[in-house]
Amino acid sequence: MTSVKVRMGESVERALLILKKKLDKEGVMKIIKAKRFADKPSVVEKNKQKQALKYRKKPNF
């Protein structure tokens, strides 16, 4: 769980900005946006295959 400690004299807006940056850096926002809508099973399978292909490819040096 991501948390931000607010210091004395620090505005809430500043703390929210720091929290948003942390969430974005950890990829939480990307996951939330991806789960907003349901994908068809065929689209999900295509995405899995693309991800697997990305990891299987190795450069030939």
Domain segments of the chain as ranges = 12-56
pLDDT digits (tens, 9 = 90+) for 13-39: 999 999 999 999 999 988 888 888 888
pLDDT of residue 54: 81
pLDDT of residue 60: 66
pLDDT of residue 13: 94
Q: How far apart are CA 40 and CA 56, in angstroms?
A: 25
Instruction: Answer whether 2's CB lies under 8 Å from 26's CB.
Output: yes
pLDDT of residue 17: 94
- Site of tokens 């065929």: 42
- Cα–Cα nearest to 17, from 4, 26, 7: 4
